[in-house]
Structure 1
């Protein structure tokens, strides 16, 4: 809406009349009759019934209108046509008001216009074709910030409708308003625009369906009520956020965070019959999820944000299994020089015993370090062994304090290959064979079943048997949800307590802060909505908008996210190709840079600057190589 144009139009008039629904107020549903489906679901949930309320309610309204001698019917007249007991009808009637109240909220653009009109001394009326009670609507309008208007005119009260022009005629007659002094604003062509013209007054028609989402697919009547309600909830609420980045978080991350937390909770309840299982949210990827979970399930106490990382757990693992070459299994797959391995462990070449010096530039497969005699000898250097014992001792104290050796653990983490679970299981088994660590993951890639066992984890979005386009953006996802603190390097004792020692935080930016704020805002608002109890956000539904960003980014996000840094042994930009001329001269460098780019689809978009199905192209290339991502 062009606010300046609209203001210039309406400020010429002494009296302004506003419509309510889809003008001053918005509903969090795609269609007005979807409200009846939400009521049906809530009623059946509360009372364990299978009442087909949506059909009953629509039929009752049709019958009431057919019997009425007037242009409009009342709420009570509609319910009088429902063939249920008085008690049931009273419950349903109140439930309809409660559901409407939960779904209705202000349209921020028209709140601005409304307030401008008030400040300019205009006389304001609110005019609506509606069967809901006047007192109910007055209460909702006041709650949403609409007060100071002179009177609310409803078709059910006046027995006249806007559509025929009679309600506008009634307004002008009762209030003694000259037709040339008033303009009406509303979304319906027939009721608000043509109806006003029939009464001889001016009208400003506004668009009913304004789509504010950035990456969500617009639903239609054939889309499930769950999906179209989620879309409408987001679409009507994101204009209230301060900027585009917050809207990205609200629309793309919010539904994933929310649906994943609900999924976790269901599995936690199923696995915690004895009440002793601990829910661990692993730092740093689960920072946002831990915060959201506590907002949604405020009564639960057996969950904790646990400060662990593969790096901080590594020395505890090697001490638990008695083999320093296990350090290689903590690293990402690949080949590393001996110096890189030593420095990753927190040591320098000077810490190697003099009689064990070797070629530090030679590369070794991180998964097969136990096969290299020279690697074993270097890792047995006195300073390294001493340092490992100290780090492991402090780390074991931390894990003990947080219950690893006392109870079963459900580990909440991104997953991917299940490495953290593998490490914790090894450490736990070194102290107790009777306990377990099981994973609840966003998704798992190839090799997870072999590493931790298919029965020892659950995956929300994808696993080795279930593919998902989400895998195109897993590192992008990590970057957006990462905690605003550094990674856990080790542990130390201070004041009798073992605390984590953190590295300097990376990627702390206004963009990430705003995205995460938006995601949490979604959680806060959705948990208070009736939709929380009446629609189901599946994993696929919750992640769809994010997948669209990961595979078909718009220019704004491509530029912002492309410059974020990702640290996986080396720090690099998410999507930062050189110029295309360089790659023409050095084609092998193109393949190398693409391979090591954390967000490859973004890399290709930025490089070629044309819209092609890069996700499908890259997926095809990977399948040819026999790899999952």
Structure 2
């Protein structure tokens, strides 16, 4: 659609005529007949003892029979339902449900609304001409609900008994206004009815597409069913105008909706009274869950790997046991290791150098346990480690006792390896808290009966590479608005400084993340108000579709914007940004790839051409699993 051409045509015309459905209005369904399937689903939820089957076919056959019987050019909705072979009470209810469904799924087509507003602003006479079986008063209500309040006349084929495709309805318009046909511009999506016929009558006409693909990542599968078609249409019709909000609406919003619906279903089935969302990745999940289920009891709980493992260190008798508490990584930097041990590296430089190490030393994780220097360092520092650990053990006890944990508690986190869950299951019994945990994650590789993953878990790991190949992207999108918990203090929580409050660049990064999350929340609020949220089944594959495609095959502009973002781990690195030297050195390439936290994005940015990046990532993972995983 060329807006400038359309505006110039409007300037040359006196009357601007719009088609209604798929022009002024869009439906949150892909095919018009999908309305009949939704009508059937609503009816069957109310009449589970006597459900309908194949109502779509029955409804379409009834309309065809009425058209064959009548001499009028178009038919009315009442006539169609008189032909449906059900009792009058059932037909009355179905007709009412069909109208309610039409009302719920009909929304403003915003690109055309801009054209309509321009015509109104230019003082043109605006009319609407619809080829539809619905009553005129009903269509008028739909238009007003969508913000079209300046339409002078509405022509509807069912009441006029005339059709656009035969030209008779347009001839009535010409007679009513008594002007030359070329003074009228008609805008619509149907090739014959809205484009060819008006021109044959001497009118101006402009044809728009029936289906506009507004989405960047959410695609419609070839064999899409009602659930997929309706969900796609909803997203396509409701995308906000701003790029970052659109990205969140289309990718993060659906997966958060599906995830929280799954959590709610789990706690309802297990009769768990409270849901505990763990900091920091659980913050956006907690916000969405609160939007969706405001009556559920939920709580945001501050935890971190460091805050939960340091209190346990004084209970460990050997270096091997201590290493077992440290979250696995490809490499471990000494200053980061000291944090994990609860100490500040700068306070023990002399001891570090005494055992033959330096502050900035790095060691492969799989060599950490056997390295004699690190063993010696631990032995020298053990009294200090244990003293600090005992203090933090008591402060940690105070915090968790204040949560009033009891019975079965459900914890929710982003996931991956279940480090927090294992730490809690070790700590809580030591505090005399008899609590059983059920842990729910976006994805989890921990193979225990009380750890459950939404996208992947040990029972089904098929989608794991799409997540693990974009781990940093996932964690970035789920970022909170506060720093990491360092430790539990007797005077309150001790939080690290918020990393995004640093440079101008990182503040811009967080602004982008916030806007993406706002878009996700907008999706949840909008979809929750839509009848489709109660009718269609949003399964894992459907909810994950947009975010999966962003992870695996991002648009170039999104890859640059997100790939340049700083990712905060033991070191600060861009999410996915190859360096110039990566093209000339295998060792540099291997190092950069292994340190990238969005490996799928890194590969696409490195090669810059369409390639099977997911397959390449899987191959590299098998080839260099210790180095790149």
TM-score normalised by length of structure 2: 0.91
> 1:408 is paired with a residue of what secondary structure?
strand
The answer for the alignment partner of 2:547 in structure 1 is: 546
Judge conservation of contact 2:313–2:386 (CA < 8 Å) in 1. Answer: no
Q: 1:170 to 1:321 in 2, by over 3 A?
A: farther
Using the TM superposition, give the Cα deviation of residue 594 of structure 1 relative to its aligned residue in structure 2, in angstroms. Answer: 0.8
1:99 aligned to 2:96? no
1:257 aligned to 2:252? no
Judge conservation of contact 1:442–1:459 (CA < 8 Å) in 2. Answer: yes
When structure 1 is superposed on structure 2, of 50-59 and 15-24 the one drifting more is: 50-59
1:123 aligned to 2:125? yes
Using the TM superposition, give the Cα deviation of residue 218 of structure 1 relative to its aligned residue in structure 2, in angstroms. Answer: 3.5
Judge conservation of contact 2:326–2:340 (CA < 8 Å) in 1. Answer: no
1:282 aligned to 2:281? no
1:488 aligned to 2:490? no
Judge conservation of contact 2:342–2:389 (CA < 8 Å) in 1. Answer: no
The answer for the alignment partner of 1:298 in structure 2 is: 294
1:399 aligned to 2:396? no
Of 104, 108, 111, the match for 2:110: 108
The 5 Å alignment of 1:360-509 reads 360-361=357-358, 363=363, 365=365, 373-382=375-384, 384-404=385-405, 406-432=406-432, 434-445=434-445, 448-449=446-447, 453=448, 455-466=449-460, 467-468=462-463, 469-471=465-467, 472-493=469-490, 498-499=492-493, 501-506=495-500, 508-509=509-510
> 1:259 is paired with a residue of what secondary structure?
helix
1:179 aligned to 2:176? no
Using the TM superposition, give the Cα deviation of residue 18 of structure 1 relative to its aligned residue in structure 2, in angstroms. Answer: 0.6
Using the TM superposition, give the Cα deviation of residue 279 of structure 1 relative to its aligned residue in structure 2, in angstroms. Answer: 1.0
Judge conservation of contact 2:29–2:35 (CA < 8 Å) in 1. Answer: yes
Using the TM superposition, give the Cα deviation of residue 388 of structure 1 relative to its aligned residue in structure 2, in angstroms. Answer: 2.6
TM-superposition CA deviations, 1:217-237 (whole Å, max 9, x none) = 2444x3211112111111122
The answer for the alignment partner of 1:51 in structure 2 is: 52
Using the TM superposition, give the Cα deviation of residue 624 of structure 1 relative to its aligned residue in structure 2, in angstroms. Answer: 3.5
Q: 1:350 to 1:9 in 2, by over 3 A?
A: closer
Using the TM superposition, give the Cα deviation of residue 261 of structure 1 relative to its aligned residue in structure 2, in angstroms. Answer: 1.0
Q: 1:493 to 1:57 in 2, by over 3 A?
A: farther
Q: 1:286 to 1:343 in 2, by over 3 A?
A: closer
Which consecutive unaligned segments of at least 5 residues does structure 1 have?
none
> 1:527 is paired with a residue of what secondary structure?
helix
Judge conservation of contact 2:36–2:56 (CA < 8 Å) in 1. Answer: yes
Aligned partners of 1:623 and 1:335: how far apart in 2? 19
Aligned partners of 1:338 and 1:244: how far apart in 2? 41
The answer for the alignment partner of 2:503 in structure 1 is: none
The answer for the alignment partner of 2:156 in structure 1 is: 154
> 2:12 is paired with a residue of what secondary structure?
coil
Q: 1:350 to 1:532 in 2, by over 3 A?
A: closer
The 5 Å alignment of 1:198-347 reads 198-220=200-222, 222-238=223-239, 241-272=240-271, 276=273, 278-300=274-296, 302-318=297-313, 326=322, 329-336=325-332, 338-347=334-343
Judge conservation of contact 2:220–2:228 (CA < 8 Å) in 1. Answer: no
Judge conservation of contact 1:183–1:204 (CA < 8 Å) in 2. Answer: yes
Aligned partners of 1:520 and 1:292: how far apart in 2? 7
Q: 1:457 to 1:542 in 2, by over 3 A?
A: same
TM-superposition CA deviations, 1:304-356 (whole Å, max 9, x none) = 22221112222334367788954752423345355432134442246559889
Aligned partners of 1:62 and 1:332: how far apart in 2? 66
Aligned partners of 1:158 and 1:242: how far apart in 2? 38
Aligned partners of 1:14 and 1:355: how far apart in 2? 88
> 1:612 is paired with a residue of what secondary structure?
coil
RMSD: 2.6
Using the TM superposition, give the Cα deviation of residue 542 of structure 1 relative to its aligned residue in structure 2, in angstroms. Answer: 1.6
When structure 1 is superposed on structure 2, of 209-218 and 253-262 the one drifting more is: 209-218
Using the TM superposition, give the Cα deviation of residue 606 of structure 1 relative to its aligned residue in structure 2, in angstroms. Answer: 2.2
> 1:69 is paired with a residue of what secondary structure?
coil
When structure 1 is superposed on structure 2, of 124-133 and 42-51 the one drifting more is: 42-51
For these two proteins, the number of residue pairs brought into alignment is: 609
Judge conservation of contact 2:351–2:380 (CA < 8 Å) in 1. Answer: no
> 1:214 is paired with a residue of what secondary structure?
coil
Judge conservation of contact 1:489–1:503 (CA < 8 Å) in 2. Answer: no
Using the TM superposition, give the Cα deviation of residue 110 of structure 1 relative to its aligned residue in structure 2, in angstroms. Answer: 1.2
Using the TM superposition, give the Cα deviation of residue 413 of structure 1 relative to its aligned residue in structure 2, in angstroms. Answer: 1.2
Using the TM superposition, give the Cα deviation of residue 588 of structure 1 relative to its aligned residue in structure 2, in angstroms. Answer: 1.1
Aligned partners of 2:411 and 2:471: how far apart in 1? 19
TM-superposition CA deviations, 1:534-567 (whole Å, max 9, x none) = 2112212221222222222221011111111112
Judge conservation of contact 2:10–2:185 (CA < 8 Å) in 1. Answer: yes
Aligned partners of 2:235 and 2:512: how far apart in 1? 20
Q: 1:322 to 1:115 in 2, by over 3 A?
A: farther
> 2:26 is paired with a residue of what secondary structure?
strand
TM-superposition CA deviations, 1:430-469 (whole Å, max 9, x none) = 2347421121111123xx22xxx2x111111112342214
Q: 1:321 to 1:91 in 2, by over 3 A?
A: farther
When structure 1 is superposed on structure 2, of 84-93 and 287-296 the one drifting more is: 84-93
> 1:21 is paired with a residue of what secondary structure?
coil
TM-score normalised by length of structure 1: 0.91
Q: 1:51 to 1:375 in 2, by over 3 A?
A: farther
1:613 aligned to 2:612? yes
When structure 1 is superposed on structure 2, of 534-543 and 325-334 the one drifting more is: 325-334
Aligned partners of 2:184 and 2:11: how far apart in 1? 10
> 1:11 is paired with a residue of what secondary structure?
helix
Judge conservation of contact 1:492–1:501 (CA < 8 Å) in 2. Answer: no
Aligned partners of 1:567 and 1:517: how far apart in 2? 22
When structure 1 is superposed on structure 2, of 196-205 and 111-120 the one drifting more is: 196-205
Aligned partners of 1:25 and 1:486: how far apart in 2? 45
Judge conservation of contact 1:329–1:366 (CA < 8 Å) in 2. Answer: no
> 2:310 is paired with a residue of what secondary structure?
helix
Judge conservation of contact 1:290–1:305 (CA < 8 Å) in 2. Answer: yes
Q: 1:178 to 1:526 in 2, by over 3 A?
A: same
The answer for the alignment partner of 1:25 in structure 2 is: 25
Using the TM superposition, give the Cα deviation of residue 598 of structure 1 relative to its aligned residue in structure 2, in angstroms. Answer: 0.8
Aligned partners of 1:183 and 1:215: how far apart in 2? 35
